[in-house]
Amino acid sequence: MAKINVVTPDGTQVTEPGSGDPVILGSYNIWTNADADNDGNNANNWLLGHVPTAAEIAYFTDATFGGSEDDCTLSGSLSCYGIDIRPEYGGAFDPNGQDITTVADFLIALGDHIVDGADVWNGSTVVVGGRFSAVGASDNLVNLRASTGWTLTVTGRCTASYATVAGCDASGGTRLTATDSTEGAGNTDVVFLESQLSDAPISLVVGIA
């Protein structure tokens, strides 16, 4: 099993079991909310003592791995290597209408880890150099809504499932494919699909030659 290794400013190493190849030491910067002000642009609220940079992934997890489950609200733009909001993170990320740029992936895993409301994405320009993936649940849709519009420009694969999507303009990159999701008004280049899975019994007819 590969490890995710993080080195804090005082040299402490935090290791989390993960999958895939090991990553470079220091490339994950964990949300801690140390100043307890929920400000995602406050350097003190990140494990490495600064807001995630173009070489670091903004990583949201629980206390087991040194993270905080407090909400994170952006007070300014965020430009970093990637964003990874893990399933165990119990808080919510609030883009607050700010611009977000990632070199690589922007991943929102399994649950509504985005603050609820119809205006949290209003005016945001989100540029993703890798994949964009937002995964909610049937009883807990992930919020991708803006009442006055937001822009999502993705280079790689762009998907959502169990989401509410409104005001999203994905025309600048890969179209957003939203599965088992709720369609709001004002979307551009967003396609809504139903999953092919069914709870109905499967009937097979077997012929004997």
Number of residues that make up the chain: 209
Amino acid in the structure at residue 194? E
pLDDT in tens, 194-207: 975 444 444 444 44
Structure tokens at 65: 């791995």
* Verdict on whether the full-model pTM lies above 0.95: no
Domain ranges of the chain: 3-193
Give the DSSP letter of residue 56.
Answer: S
Which of 33, 25, 103, 23 is closest to 67 using CA atoms? 33
All residues at 6 or more sequence positions from 73 whose CB lies less than 8 Å from its CB, including other chains: 38, 39, 40, 94, 96, 115
Three-state SS for 186? Answer: coil
- pLDDT tens for residues 40-77? 999 999 999 999 999 999 999 999 999 999 999 999 99
Distance of CA 60 to the CA centre of its chain: 9
